[in-house]
Amino acid sequence: MLVLFTTFSFGVENSDDLLEKLNVGIQNWIPNVKSACLWVFFTLATIDIVWTFGKMALSGFEFGEFAATLIKKIITIGVFFIFI
């Protein structure tokens, strides 16, 4: 019965090897996920800016309204970019 619960029966000599392999694996895919997240973020930000200013262009706007909206968008996108 004792043989069933030894570390050899689980295929791992010690847990440090398993944690090291997991850490190396995570470190390898983090840059790929981060670059994909940045691409999606900037794509959605571009769509949002085009949509907002497209609606403004169709409805007619003043320069002050354009500047205020642009500053709001830049600040909003910048704040969310910090979280990435």
7-55 per-position pLDDT tens digit: 555 555 666 777 888 888 888 888 889 999 999 999 999 999 999 999 9
Indicate the DSSP class of residue 2.
Answer: G
Domains: count for the chain: 1
Residue 76 has what pLDDT?
A: 94
Radius of gyration of the chain, Cα coordinates, nearest whole angstrom: 25
User: Does the structure show a pLDDT above 70 at 5?
Assistant: no
Residue 21 has what pLDDT?
A: 81
Question: What contacts 84, CB < 8 A, 6 or more positions away?
Answer: 34, 37, 38, 41
Q: 55 lies in which domain range?
A: 2-83
- The answer to whether the pTM exceeds 0.75 is no
